[in-house]
Structure 1
């Protein structure tokens, strides 16, 4: 049986022989010292490099110079978006419940014949 190589989710190169090889490589990269390609500053791990790269972005719409503030704002925006989505879902669910209640009340008003099962409204 031929073992199909596993692709890296970052570079998409299929050269890992198994899940453990991919895992150990990702852990190694995520926790190693990485050099910023813009300013050559050395940072520990992908997460720190990602946050550091925000300091190199010249975005007119962003007034904050602190990368952590930018990340914090993006997280808050995502949370707000999810909250709005949940509110819409709750409104939709409430409408469904209201419709079910209305239908239930209508069914209570229906009189059925015990002999022929005909419904009278």
Structure 2
């Protein structure tokens, strides 16, 4: 999950210094009722749910030119304005958040058959 230019520098054997970004926007999301969904169905259904949902979200990161930082379970984290600073970072992340809520509707809860709902939290600095 390293930015491409950092990964390329490391592949070439170069050392990479940590960067500092004064302004960026961070988004965290999770699946509403994820714990109950996990308790009520087989693990393979959870794998399929997350794979389907995260594939859609990953495509949106390219469209909105934001950086995916991490996924842990049902948590998905992105940042705008990093690793390439941009003044439109908050706007890009807000549009990504709207897109992810729409994309999540295409993924069905394996227990209820209803569309998945995602909760979005963000922080701009």
Task: Give the TM-score, by structure 2 length.
Answer: 0.21
Larger % of strand: which? 2
Higher-RCO chain (CA-CA 8 Å, sequence separation at least 6): 2
Larger radius of gyration: 1
Larger helix share, 1 or 2: 1
